[in-house]
Amino acid sequence: MSNFTDLDAYLFGQGTHYDIYKKLGAHRGKQGKESGYYFDVWAPHASRVAVIGEFNDWDETRNYMQRVEPESHGIFETFIPNVKEGQLYKYLIYTEDGTKLYKADPYATYAEVRPGTASRIYDNTKFKWTDNAWMKQRKAAKNFWEQPLAIYEVHPGSWKRHPRPENDGFYSYKEFAHSLTEYVLDMGYTHVELMGIAEYPFDGSWGYQVTGYYAPTSRYGTPDDFMYLINYLHKNGIGVILDWVPAHFPKDAHGLADFDGRPLYEYPDPKKGEHPDWGTKIFNYGKPEVKNFLIGSALQWVEHYHIDGLRVDAVASMLYLDYGKKPGQWIPNEHGGNENLEAIEFFKHINTLIRGRNPGAVMIAEESTAWPKITGDVENGGLNFSYKWNMGWMHDFIDYMKLDPYFRKDNHNKMTFAMSYNEAERYILVLSHDEVVHLKGSMLAKMPGLEVDKYKNLMAGYAFMMGHPGKKLLFMGQEFAQGTEWSEARELDWYVLDNPNHRHVARMFKELLHIYRQYPAMYEQDVSWAGFEWINANDSYRSIFSFVRKAKNGKNNLLFVINMTPMKYDDYRVGVPENKRFRLLLDSENKEFGGEGGIIPETCTPIHEECDGREYSIGFSMAPYQIAIFVY
């Protein structure tokens, strides 16, 4: 009796076998009274396929696979008794011309630690989850865009390292779970976003050139260890988002490229199936079985591993046929345009499916162009992502913050422009790993001025980011102003926290995170002007920004005033929207943030004096680079 049924074959051929990861790959089973493992692989162009591994001494003739009826679907299967968990294996694929290919299992749940490239037998169905409360809460969540979302982007292999040499000094998933949870809870993030989880061969790719779309990387432990990490984070109220890379895959010999001797997972024409700049292959989004492979991967992470959302990498490269290509290197679509119509339909399908089957789970697009309706409904021509990374805001923000303060007055609009399109999508404001690599330097290194000014600049920038509409993401190390550029080969520079300047930035960002989570005004109405109001968007000469964030019920609204220059103003005055008491919530001049001591009264009562077009105003001394946040 075959493990892969006629119904499985039909659904797979339609691209709608949503539990395909339970069928293809290696799965525990029985034939008669014998226990063992079924092996199923899709290789339609192969002339013959065999399973080789530790259980048969890598004998290439002992375990040939049979084509499953109907043969046209190209599924090969065999059952091997007495296979033990943990044993290594590969598929030996004979191509049409007799060439031998030694391939890892595309659907493997576990892999050999690099530089090894074999798959590893593993039953990932044994873990006992205890995060029921979290999962019920996730399922019941409504209007997720009205909830706080502050993401800590983390690369597990370089967050912290052990001095011990074994396993390259990596923290295991379990060790990482405890250290990371303690830190995230203390800082006040709502979610972590994990880089480099799906198995990949080259450390320097950071996990963005994947060979194992169904396997948590073995660098840090087993799939059960990975589930322990997710379970532990959930039990402590922390959500988990995973980087997911359906845009391309590497050409490694053991991977997906030319899997059965011909292009299978990739488009056959190199003009459509390869990225010239990246040296990688592009998935064939028009082939049902390939779409099913990717959809199954996404569903496994969300449903089997309880992941709360996927950050989809390089969306723009999927949407545009000419992305990163010169004239003559790409093929127009059937209408003569540069849109990849198959990728567009793929996104509509997968986003609707993931979000429909898993209420509360989010799909996030890393999309760097002005493609419309990324987060729009499918019925209205949208792609139905939950959120879009706001790359435009990020570029403008960094361009502004890098400027000498003297020149900021001429670039004031870089900080205000994002509000002109804020209602177009549901955005996440991001300062990600991409901004602190490839000789771009750290966030601190981008700041102008002398040493102390750099830290104050960064604090002011973070305050603007946290106050601005949109959910938040910050890459690890930047919360304490790491001075060096990030590298995957070493741990973060935690030692800099011995320096008070770095501690001050960390305390400031922690305080901003806790304010963000405590006050609904900071997140409830991110996508509407009802939740935001400029007090003065045009104070370019002084480079001071003042604005209000509003709660739906009108209570505990927040007033932000941020000075982006080293100038002091003894008689600064700001207009206020209401004649009510304004209680000081945060003053960057407090000594805990490296200031000289608070200079703003704990409570400011407006006077009847026009300012910023308002009938009432409050006044106080404004220090260089000062941040003042009031609640009213």
525-543 core/surface letters (b: 16 or more CB in 10 A; e: else): bbbeeebbeebbbebbebb
SS3 (DSSP) at 125: coil
Question: Amino acid letter at 59?
Answer: D
Spell out the residues 6+ positions from residue 39 whose beta carbon is closer than 8 angstroms to its own: 25, 26, 51, 65, 77, 78, 79, 80, 89, 91, 105
Beta-carbon count within 10 A of 378 CB: 15
Give the Cα separation of 557 and 535 in Å (integer). Answer: 13
Q: Check: CB of residue 55 under 8 Å from CB of residue 78.
A: no
Rounded to whole angstroms, the Cα distance separating 550 from 558 reads 7
Q: Are 333 and 300 in contact (CB under 8 A)?
A: no
Q: Is 59 a catalytic site residue?
A: no
Contact between 325 and 276 (Cβ < 8 Å):
yes
Which is the catalytic residue, given 313, 342, 367, 524? 313
Question: What tokens appear for 305 in the block?
Answer: 């591993």
Strands 34-42 and 88-94: unpaired
Contact between residue 106 and residue 259 where contact means Cβ atoms under 8 Å apart? yes
Q: For the chain, how many residues are written?
A: 632
298-321: burial string, b at 16+ Cβ within 10 Å, e else:
bbbbbbbbbbbbbbbbbbbbbbbb
Contact in structure between 233 and 241 (CB atoms under 8 Å) = no
DSSP 429: E
Task: Report the C-alpha gap between 93 and 587 in whole angstroms.
Answer: 66
**265 and 284 Cβ atoms separated by less than 8 Å:** yes
The answer to whether the beta carbons of residues 218 and 157 sit under 8 Å apart is no
What are the backbone dihedrals phi and psi of residue 267, each rounded to the nearest 5 degrees, phi first? -60, 140
Q: Say if strands 75-81 and 34-42 run parallel, antiparallel, or are unpaired.
A: antiparallel
For 562, phi and psi rounded to 5 degrees? -130, 125
Examine the residue annotation and report whether 313 is marked as an active-site residue of this protein: yes
Structure tokens at 84: 């033990």
Q: If DSSP codes are grouped into helix, strand and coil, which group holds residue 583?
A: strand
Contact yes or no for 548/554 (Cβ under 8 A): no
Catalytic residue among 225, 366, 526, 589: 366
Distance between CA 355 and CA 404 in Å, rounded? 45
| b (16+ CB within 10 A) / e for 381-412 | ebbbbbbbbbbebbebbbebbebebeebeeeb
Q: Is the Cβ–Cβ distance between 40 and 12 less than 8 Å?
A: no
Whole-number Cα distances in Å, 11 to 8, 196, 450: 5, 30, 63
Q: Which helix (H) or strand (E) holds 187?
A: helix 173-187
- C-alpha distances (whole Å) from 296 to each of 15, 239, 527 are 10, 21, 31
CA atoms within 13 A on the CB side of 335: 6
| 505, 506, 509, 510: CA torsion to nearest 10 | -150
Determine the 3-state secondary structure of 348 from DSSP: helix
Give catalytic residue positions: 313, 366
